[in-house]
Chain A
Amino acid sequence: MAIDTETVRRIAFLSRLKIEDDKIQATEDEFNKILGWVDQLQEVDTQNVAPLVSVNENYLQMREDEVTDGNMPEKILANAPMKEYGYFAVPKVVE
């Protein structure tokens, strides 16, 4: 499955990454090289094979839904690039 320039731009936006205009073509070429390579998986017969989500899928266990930790706003905000009134601060989102 080859991808085009438009798809590269869309994937970049979904990834929240900027690709300079002069790098789009190179990115597209590289993408197609990698996707061409992983396409070899299509030759494997996987009919009736269930996807393996995790190697220890059997261990996942239920636990009580209870508060075991918390009440540490200072610690949580300690690394914030910008904070105000005990909250993370962001640029204005309402136009």
Chain B
Amino acid sequence: MTDLTKLTIAKAREGLKKKEFSAPELVEAYAAKMNENRKFNAYVCETTEQALEQAKASQDKINRGEGRDLEGIPLGIKDLFCTKGIATTACSNILKGFVPPYESTVTSHLLAAGANFLGKLNLDEFAMGGSNETSAFGPVVNPWSRDVPLVAGGSSGGSAAAVAANMCAAATGTDTGGSIRQPSAYCGVTGIKPTYGRCSRWGIIAFASSLDQAGPIAKDVRDCAIMLKNMAGYDAKDSTSAKQEVPDFEKFLGLDIKGMRIGIPKEYRVDGLDKEVAAYWDKAAEMLRARGAEVVEVSLPHTKYALATYYIIAPAEASSNLARYDGLRYGNRVDGKHLDDMYINSRSAGFGKEVKRRIMIGTYVLSAGYYDAYYLKAQKVRRLIRDDFVKAFEKCDLILTPTAPTAAFPIGDKSMQENPITMWLNDIFTVSVSLAGLPAMSLPIGLNQQGLPLGMQLVGKAFDEESIFKAAYCLEKDVNFKGVK
């Protein structure tokens, strides 16, 4: 029998419908794979028994011909989504033991579509990190690692690794500055951050609210389309959720891209860009051109300020959002002599180093006397960065860039550990897109000489995921990327 865990959602759905295998069999296959692949540290909580129960109910529905869009499909859920009755920690000690009495909107949608959840996936603590090393549960190991354990990327490192190693059919991720796209690139899988507002943020533990957006990480472009359709939609419980109709993204796959204009931002040819990354970038542009697209140079002049802007805005919002963790209403409490003592003790014991660093930077840039110089300034530059994209999209329909400047690096890399800014530079190609709130997908483009996957990023206009899906599907066909062995 074929390995069921290697099937895409589209294929698994077909197989279930044709009764080639059952929904419980599918869950059991994934449970075995999760067991086999514990070394990757992708899951922080396993719920395969519940998944099995859900799968049995799904099988009944399939038997009655009532199967829904994701009926019987086993998914992994980033541990940033609140899941009713299942521990949710954001991979932070401060949320140890927290069991949400409610379900996030996105995961409710997935459950309502018939999916079952295999467990909760590892991430950087509160999604703050680019390597999954800030997780209170320890780093995720990239399934592509050989001799030296490599990072899976972050913050959705568990999601990307679990998809790459066939430990779930697809996974949910969230992206604030690149947290879906960068780990997807490092792990050789496909992930899309939709337009800000596409997916409800309700029930997703907040990091930086003006940037946070949920999206899928999956085995291929089609599965991303299937997942996104079942995650997106207006939600009255999130005031920033968009009242936009959610198209059936799958129907854009296979449409031709003749005449589509692909923009190459000249400012992204940064100094020290990895030669192989640059070569694959050219190759991807060539593939799209061969399909009839027109490749044009565009300019995003404020690109060099995107990281600094992001590292003011994101920590500022984080410092406000994380003020709620005070040891009072939920999570870990460490007693103190008086109330302030209790706050300080609980927060000092509960938060990790990177989270503390960002809370303090955020507190500083929002504090009296510095607000205008830092926070307000960053919001102004953010508008210039957004306007750059608006102007660029007058000349093109999509923008093509590498997802990350390098392939996955070793866990514990010294230069990254010693200087936080070095680590932050990995987000150089993804943050400006986040600041502009635009949709972007990362898909594998090939392997470098060390045999590690590299990703390409396709950026679209706001609410034009359609063009991304069209072009990504073409690129995927031409690249014909093979997953990890």
Using CB atoms and an 8 Å cutoff, list the residues of chain A in contact with chain B: 1, 3, 7, 11-18, 27, 30-31, 33-35, 37-38, 40-42, 44, 46, 49-56, 59-61, 63, 72, 75-76, 78-82, 88, 90-93, 95
Kindly identify which residue among B347, B351, B357, B370 contacts A30, using a CB–CB cutoff of 8 Å.
Answer: B357
CA distance A27 to B363 in the complex (A): 14
Are A11 and B360 also in contact (CB < 8 A) when A81-B327, A91-B337 are? yes
Question: Would you give the 0/1 interface string for B186-218, flagging 1 where the beta carbon is closer than 8 Å to chain A?
Answer: 000000000011000000000000100000000
Q: Tell me which of B137-145, B237-245, B449-457 binds A.
A: B237-245
Residues of B within 8 A of A88 (CB): 328-329
Q: Tell me which of B2-10, B12-20, B304-312 binds A.
A: B304-312
- State the main secondary structure of chain B at its contact with A: helix
A14 touching B305 by the CB < 8 A rule?
A: no
A51 touching B335 by the CB < 8 A rule?
A: no
Residues of A within 8 A of B64 (CB): none
Report B39 CB to chain A, min CB distance, Å: 32
B420 at the interface (CB under 8 A from A): yes
CA distance A4 to B364 in the complex (A): 12
CA distance A27 to B353 in the complex (A): 11
B367 touching A14 by the CB < 8 A rule?
A: yes
A82 touching B333 by the CB < 8 A rule?
A: yes
Residue in chain A with minimal CB distance to B337: A91
Residue in chain A with minimal CB distance to B357: A30
Residue in chain B with minimal CB distance to A78: B101
Q: Tell me which of B167-175, B250-258, B379-387, B398-406 binds A.
A: B379-387
Kindly identify which residue among B196, B333, B383, B436 contacts A51, using a CB–CB cutoff of 8 Å.
Answer: B383
CA distance A41 to B308 in the complex (A): 7
The size bracket of the interface on B is 35 or more
A17 touching B351 by the CB < 8 A rule?
A: yes
Q: List 15 A-B contacts (CB under 8 A).
A: A15-B360, A15-B363, A16-B326, A33-B419, A34-B311, A41-B309, A41-B377, A44-B302, A44-B384, A49-B381, A59-B242, A60-B240, A79-B97, A80-B329, A91-B341
Residues of A within 8 A of B379 (CB): 51-53
CA distance A81 to B328 in the complex (A): 7
A44 touching B305 by the CB < 8 A rule?
A: yes
Residues of B within 8 A of A44 (CB): 302, 305, 377, 380-381, 384
Report B94 CB to chain A, min CB distance, Å: 11
Known A-B contacts: A34-B421, A55-B436, A91-B335. Give 11 more (CB < 8 A). Answer: A7-B364, A17-B344, A30-B420, A31-B360, A37-B308, A41-B377, A46-B381, A56-B242, A60-B239, A79-B330, A81-B328
Are A38 and B328 also in contact (CB < 8 A) when A17-B351, A30-B357, A90-B342 are? no
